Amino acid sequence: MKLEKLINAVPCKVRGDIVGIDIANIEYDSRKVINGSLFVCLKGSAVDGHKFAEKAAESGAVAIVASDEIDVNVPVIMVEDTRKSLALLSAEFFGHPAGKLKTIGITGTKGKTTTACMLKYMLEAADHKVGVIGTIGLMIGNDVTPTNNTTPESHEVQKFMAQMVDAGCDYCIMEVSSIGLRDGRVNGFDFDCGIFTNFSEDHIGGVEHKDMEEYLYCKSLLFKKCKCGIINIDDANWEGMIKDHTCEIITYGFDNKADIVGSENHLYSEPGFIGSEMKVSGLENFDVKIATPGKFNAYNALSAITALHYFDISNEAMIAGLRAVKVKGRVEPVEVPGNFTLLIDYAHNALSMENILSTLREYNPNRLICMFGAGGNRPKVRRFEMGEVCGNMADLSVITADNSRFEDVMDIIADIKVGMAKTEGKYIEIPDRREAIRWCIENAEDGDIVVLAGKGHEDYQEIKGVKYPFDERIVIKEILADIEVGK
């Protein structure tokens, strides 16, 4: 694309001669610059791209987008905000793919990934081809490509949507994090539909949000850039979430004041199916079985139903999709020999652990066993809270490693035990996560429910800055094979 045409997407001042310059790609990481790149200088919490402008030019960048003065021997496009400009330039470069898709953005502290998967299954049951951007990665059909962030940088967002268009998708579902909204990663287009799941304390401190007020405000930005907002009216913060909104609002919840109401939600099981069922009334009226247990997942299902009501998707497709839905790392069952249930779940803080353990307790297991650790280089209060919740709610806790990052695993376990000491809960320590999983499998009794919490969809362990392969599904298969050999 000619640079002269591309920069029409942004207010700017041009320094240098850009006549005839072709742009092969847009980059914001100087290490990825090739001949013909347009390099955009982004300012991050730790790195300022302006410092790498000269390196980018030496590597083949034919022009630089900057907000600060720089000294390079290629044309410079001066803009007020390079992050906003990256989004607008990328949308133009990839041909505004959002305009060729129906787009759904999901924000909230919990439930984004599950809601995205529910929407995908329901839309596919209605014969639509769907792309998803989120925690699990980029999904187009059944193909999954890992991504670094729940909501990638705006250039990747536009590139991924363009890939969806090329693959024949007509819907794009996107998990929209508060950081992604704050940093303008979804600028350059408006969503057809935005979903609010729920709001609770998370992502406070460090390079994330300074306080809950900022966290709420950043999430609320979604409802200034969508045509219709799907809002959980049962959440205490719903009015703050839609403050100064610019979209149509449709509400859902178990409160009869909602536009779409859930009721009579209870656990449901049959051979090959563990989940829940509920009645849906209001703007839609039908009964539905949901292949994920818990009232929190009933809320996720209600949010997806309400969004697809907006798109006029049939009840039959909604019912079929919710009965079939599987969410990697979210109350995910793993087949094992023996008369016990083994689940993998992403629960990695006190709230999510309380949700999953309270839900599984309702199935009246012989014992509820929870194996978990806590992430390193994160607030210690999370570890205290997780230890206390698990000590109160599980029959047995198996305390082990998670992503220790740059901390010592034993220090993290010591912090977890601070919370555990406030309870009468039984626990054992097995610092090696593989050995902890093996212990759980070898010591499970008939009727037990065993939850491996914390990793969920992740397929690695991060230790001292290195990500080592660690997919719990694979680990379980290896352990089972080893046990079989040893018999």
Q: Is the pLDDT of residue 202 over 80?
A: no
Lowest-pLDDT choice from 33-37, 180-184, 314-318: 180-184
Q: Rounded mean pLDDT of 388-415?
A: 98
Q: Rounded mean pLDDT of 43-54?
A: 90
Q: What is the pLDDT of residue 201?
A: 65
Q: Is the pLDDT of residue 298 over 50?
A: yes
pLDDT digits (tens, 9 = 90+) for 428-478: 999 999 999 999 999 999 989 999 999 998 999 999 999 999 999 999 999
| Average of per-residue pLDDT values in the chain | 94
Q: Is the pLDDT of residue 272 over 60?
A: no
Q: Rounded mean pLDDT of 40-56?
A: 92
Q: Rounded mean pLDDT of 247-253?
A: 98
Q: What is the pLDDT of residue 271?
A: 47
Q: Rounded mean pLDDT of 187-198?
A: 97
> How large a percentage of the chain has pLDDT more than 90?
83
Q: What is the pLDDT of residue 294?
A: 81
Q: Rounded mean pLDDT of 14-34?
A: 96
Pull the structure tokens for residue 152.
């990638």
pLDDT digits (tens, 9 = 90+) for 115-130: 999 999 999 999 999 9
Q: Is the pLDDT of residue 364 over 80?
A: yes
